[in-house]
Structure 1
Amino acid sequence: MFPLLIPYENERRPVAMRVLRNSETATRLLDPSEDNAAPYELFFKELMVDPSVKQRLHEVFAMKDLRYPMGGGAESGGPELLGRAAPDFTVRSSRGGTRLALLQHSGRATFVHGVNCDAETQQVRRWRDRVDIIETQTALPDGLAGMLIRPDGYIAWARNTQQACRSEELKAALHTWFGSAVRTAGADRPDAADADPVAL
Structure 2
Amino acid sequence: MYNFRDDLPDGGAAHIAQTVRMIKSQNAKILVECLVPDFAGNLHCVEEICDCGVDVYAHNIETVRRLTPWVRDPRAKYDQSLACLKHAKSYKKLITKSSIMLGLGESDDEVLQTMKDLRHNGVDCLTIGQYMQPTKRHLLVKEYIQPSKYEHWEKIGRELGFLYTASGPLVRSSFKAGEYFMKQILQKKDDWSSTERFSSAQSLAD
Give the TM-score band, short-chain normalised.
under 0.3
What's the TM-score once normalised by structure 1's chain length?
0.25
Q: Which structure shows the bigger proportion of residues in helix conformation?
A: 2
Indicate the structure whose relative CO is greater, using CA pairs within 8 Å and at least 6 residues apart: 1
